[in-house]
Chain A
Amino acid sequence: MPALNKLYQQYKEQVAFYVVYIEEAHPTDGWQMPNNIKDHVLVASPHTLEDRNEAAHACVVKLGIHIPALVDDMQDSAERAYTGWPDRLYVIDRSGRVAYKSKAGPFGFHPDEMAQALAKLVPPANPVKQTH
């Protein structure tokens, strides 16, 4: 998440940056993960849109996400259209075409690849000063 927050800070003036909160990957009522139990990350699958909104809000706060969050609908339209589960990154260019699509997470989730795709589309507004 720090890497994505940093990208957001860098590009937020020129790029519409969003987190899309989709169905939980490892909810307590589904495929629970031992490390989540250890870390007390216990989230049940939201069954109503209201629950999902609340879960999205809690997720953003707990994970310290600065990127604005959108919430998928209960038909999982966004997840299905973009094969987003459990996590995935996309960059869409100005003409509305897919410029970068990561491989499926968790294995394919690489913010550095997204950074490269963004750098190709826009010159950074706040370039990191390099010392030589």
Chain B
Amino acid sequence: MRKTLVYAVPVVVVYGILVGGLFAAMLQPPAKFGRIMSRLPSVTFFLFPFEPMWLMARKGNLKVGDMAPDLALKTADRSAEVSLSSFRGRQPVALVFGSHT
């Protein structure tokens, strides 16, 4: 029993530190997090509860019912600038955030 503890306690402590480290990385800006992940082995996904940690880390501050922050962005063809606030009182807006990869 005592012998098991001698091995189990350090393993649990090290695992806890690694979970904390991964979570801290998830809280970094995307580019920095990406750079960190690119150096970690893919076993990271299986060793840690990646999905729940990610959903928690990337929860964000906006909640349903909050005023949506205004955005003024150019269209990809640069033909126009679109301001989200211009739709207020007129029509709903649907946004799909994403990239190619």
Contact = CB atoms under 8 A, between A and B. Distances in A.
B3 interface: no
Nearest to A96: B88
A101 to B, nearest CB: 6
A18 B100 contact: no
B40 to A, nearest CB: 9
Given A98-B66, A104-B55, A33 B94 contact: no
A96 B67 CA distance: 6
A95 to B, nearest CB: 7
B14 interface: no
Contacts of A101: 60, 62-64
A92 to B, nearest CB: 4
A59 B99 contact: yes
A35 to B, nearest CB: 10
Contacts of B98: 19-22, 25, 84, 86-88, 105
B18 interface: no
B58 A83 contact: yes
A27 B34 contact: yes
Contact of B73 (A16, A20, A95, A103): A20
Interface of B: 29-31, 33-35, 37-38, 51, 54-55, 57-69, 71, 73-78, 82, 84-85, 87-101
